Amino acid sequence: MLEGSEPCSGPFFAGRNQGHLSLSESDHAVVPAGDFEMKATIERATLLKGLSHVQSVVERRNTIPILSNVLLEATAEGQLRMMATDLDLQINDSVAAAVDQPGSTTVSAHTLFDIARKLPEGAQVQLTAADGRMTIVAGRARFSLGTLPRDDFPVIAEGELPTQFELPVELLKQIIDKTRFAISTEETRYYLNGIFLHVAEDNGAPVLKAAATDGHRLARVTIERPNGAEGMPDVIVPRKCVGELRKLLDEVDGSVGVSLSGTKIRFDLGQAILTSKLIDGTFPDYSRVIPTANDKILKLDPKAFMQGVDRVSTIATEKTRAVKMALDRDRITLSVTSPENGTASEEVPGEYTSLGFEIGFNSRYLLDILGQIDSDLVEVHLADAAAPTLIRENDKAPALYVLMPMRV
């Protein structure tokens, strides 16, 4: 059995999972009432919305057939519940439906989603499951898809989730947007493949910190510790979970319920619930790389700076993406030299009063950070051409970034 997943019962069933468009009259046999495993009618837009939430969890290639499926459960209360999982991450959603026969089945998630997408707007979609098939009828279109038994569908066992708190949707969006670009994609350093959440004290004030790093740059956001988060374990929320959560946040208002233990985390977003395993590893002590004595301060307009970096990096080679920054009193010159493409330079306005020197950065990393600066002013705290550089809006800003320079 795969670790950490519990089927409702029985072994995995490797059966038919391919759908086909049914055109012959013989396929239109009427199933006697009462023999349905499930029967429900749902508006196409409602079905599409629910499926769009859950299907993106499903991997396109699966060695275990049932992991390609979405679990559909029609309830007597007039709800169609949907669930999809990849054994590490699970999304449940619930939408309104007219239920003739409560019941459940599992069917190919991507196929059903593609069908729903292509059905005409405003169509009423009838879903009927019986004898190992699901029939989908909308207007003159009719599909018959293979199903797999609901009892074989694996469910992530949450266990106890002792830490529970709420975060406003907008704040959670901000936490994710200002950190996730720095998440590592290097699988060998799996403990960096997510956002690190931990509680701490800043000058005696209780805070919650979110951090991500790939070894080249670090992003950290600090917020007031929410009620209920005291005593929470340090956790690393996986990259895929962060991505799915961010998509769901665009469709909810108010606040999100967060429940977690040392191994699992759950986000309650109204109709949708996202449950994920946490990364089993230790996040490095990132506070050691945050410079505290960088005394060369550069202040500039992040938008103008970003546009300048973007323009000169047009000719940078894909491999290095290096951009050089030459600093003189109130004069900042950006330049790129590429053996294949030539050279580019641009002066950008800024405020700088320290000793002049040159420093290089990866332009992509620099643009990622500047893209998250909301104010009209950004502070760049420098030490020398080899030391980590600190970037932030000001010393009161919740977000802070550290970027390692490059040799150019």
What pLDDT, on a 0 to 100 scale, did the predictor assign at position 35? 62
| Number of domain units in the chain | 3
276 lies in the same domain as 347: no
CATH number for 216? 3.10.150.10
Q: What one-character DSSP code corresponds to residue 53? A: H
What pLDDT is stored for residue 11 in this prediction? 31
E strand intervals along 86-140: 89-96, 98-101, 103-108, 124-130, 133-138
Which of 287, 317, 348 terminates a domain? The answer is: 287
Q: Classify residue 376: in a domain, yes or no.
A: yes
In a shared domain, residues 281 and 393: no
Does residue 247 form part of some domain?
Answer: yes
Asked which of 156, 176, 207 is the last residue of a domain, the reply is: 156
Beta strands in 60-102 (DSSP E): 69-74, 79-85, 89-96, 98-101
Q: Are residues 108 and 170 in the same domain?
A: no
In a domain, 239, yes or no: yes
Asked if the structure places residue 222 within a domain, the reply is yes
CA distance 396 to 56: 37
Residue 75 lies in a domain: yes
The segments of the chain whose pLDDT lies below 50 read 1-34
**Residue 42 belongs to some domain of the structure:** yes
Q: Are residues 55 and 93 in the same domain?
A: yes
| DSSP for 315-365, written as a single string | GS-TTT-EEEEEEETTEEEEEEEETTTEEEEEEE--EE-S--EEEEEEHHH
DSSP 230: T
Q: What is the pLDDT of residue 408?
A: 79
Asked whether residue 167 falls in the same domain as residue 248, the answer is yes
* One domain, residues 230 and 277: yes
Query: Residues 204, 100: one domain?
Result: no
Q: How far apart are CA 176 and CA 167, in angstroms?
A: 12
For 232, the domain range is 163-287
- Which DSSP string corresponds to 167-193? EEHHHHHHHHHTTGGG----GGGGGGS
Residue 408, domain member (yes or no): no
Residues 57 and 124 in one domain: yes
Looking at the fold, whether 10 and 126 belong to one and the same domain comes out as yes
146, 216: one domain: no
Q: Are residues 262 and 300 in the same domain?
A: no
**Is residue 116 within a helix (H) or strand (E), and if so which, with residue range?**
helix 109-118
Between CA 334 and CA 186 the distance in angstroms is 30
Convert the pLDDT of each residue in 140-197 to its tens digit. Answer: 999 999 999 999 999 999 899 999 999 999 999 999 999 999 999 999 999 999 999 9
pLDDT at 21: 34
Pairwise CA distance, residues 72 & 323, whole Å: 52
Residue 370 Ramachandran class (φ > 0 left, ψ -120 to 50 alpha, else beta): alpha
Indicate whether 99 belongs to any domain.
yes
Q: Which of 252, 268, 287 is the last residue in one of the domains?
A: 287
- Backbone angles phi and psi of 25, in degrees to 5: -65, -35
Same-domain status, 9 and 152: yes
